Amino acid sequence: MGVRTWIEGWPVYRQLTGTDPLGRGAAAQSPRSRDLSARTGSADSMARSVCPYCAVGCGQRIFVKDGEVVQIEGDPDSPISRGRLCPKGSASKSLVTSDRRVRGVLYRRPFGTDWEELDLDTAMGMIADRVVAARAATWEDADEEGRPLNRTLGIASLGGATLDNEENYLIKKLFTALGALQIENQARI
């Protein structure tokens, strides 16, 4: 290492002689920090999304590399949020990537004391069987005066405010056709 290289490796020298008199940019870089690059730059793809927490509707950009979410940040294009996110929105990468997420079906049998694992298709079939049976057992064709009721009060559902419009549409459509009236969500609460 020559003397000149050694002196130029000294940040104060670069700060005093270079283009960064405040020492907050190039002057302060080490070889390591100079070689760092943003995850957003090396991502394979970016999806334009919306924060899943409150109803302000802040824009999010979700960066994915090698099949993993590597960064979620505010979308500066959004006229609603102008790139900003609150503590919850800023933490939403850890919501998506958390190792606490349930990734397989868990099943608790009646009177059971712990979870068991269950195959997804098996669980779907079991739920469909139970919907059919609950309907059959609690179906009401008509009221006492013969007016139609077409319904079951044996099935209830709660949730929708955190879901997509398209999902709420299918939920309401299917349950209505099944005669299941007792469909509610956070808007009642």
Partner 1 sequence: MAEAHPVGFQYVVEAKNRGATVIHIDPRFTRTSALAHTYVPMRAGADIAFLGGVVNYILSNEKDFREYVVAYTNASMIVGEGFRDTEDLDGLFSGYDPELNVYDQSSWQYEGQSDEGQQEGEAHADRETASGLEQESHGPPVPADVPRDPTLRHPRCVYQILKRHYARYTPEMVERVCGVPPEKFLEVCAAWTRNSGRERTTALVYSVGWTQHSVGVQYIRTGAIIQLLLGNMGRPGGGVMALRGHASIQGSTDIPTLFNLLPGYLPMPHHRQHETFRQWVDAIRHPEQKGFWANAEAYAVSLLKAYFGDAATEQNDWGYGWLPRLTGDHGTYQQVLDMIDGKIKGYFLLGQNPAVGSAHGRAQRLGMANLDWLVVRDLFAIESATFWKDGPEVATGEIVPEQCRTEVFLMPAASHAEKEGTFTQTQRLLQWREKALDPPGDCRSELWFFHHLGRLVRERLAGSTLPRDQAVLRLNWPDEEPSGEDVLREINGYDVATGAALSNFTDLAADGTTACGCWIYSGVFKDGVNQAARRKPGAEQDWVAREWGWAWPSDRRTLYNRASADPEGRPWSERKKYVWWDPAAGEWTGYDVPDFEKTKPPSYRPPEGASGVEAIAGDDAFIMQGDGKGWLYAPSGLIDGPMPTHYEPAESPIGNPLYGQGANPARKRYDRDDNPLNPASPVYPYVFSTSRLTEHHTAGGMSRQLAYLSELQPEMFVEVSPALAAERGLEHHGWAHVITSRAAIEARVLVTDRLRPLRVDGRVIHQIWMPYHWGSSGLVTGDSANDLIGIVLDPNVLIQESKVGTCDIRPGRRPAGADLLAYVEDYRRRAEGHDG
Contact between 41 and partner 1 by CB under 8 A: the answer reads: no
Q: Rounded to whole angstroms, what are the CA distances from 148 to 35, 131, 132, 134, 189?
A: 73, 21, 20, 19, 30
Stretch that binds partner 1, among 2-10, 15-23, 27-35, 171-179 (CB under 8 A): 171-179
Contact between 71 and partner 1 by CB under 8 A: the answer reads: no
To partner 1, the closest distance from the beta carbon of 177 in angstroms equals 4
The count of chain residues that interact with partner 1, using the rule CB under 8 A, is: 117
- Applying the rule CB under 8 A, the residues between 47 and 66 that interact with partner 1 are 47-59, 62, 64
Residue 173, H or E segment: helix 165-177
Instruction: Work out which of 2, 4, 32, 114 binds partner 1, going by CB under 8 A.
Output: 114
Contact between 138 and partner 1 by CB under 8 A: the answer reads: yes
b (16+ CB within 10 A) / e for 7-41: eeeebeebbeeeebeeeeeebeeeeeeeeeeeeee
Contact between 17 and partner 1 by CB under 8 A: the answer reads: no
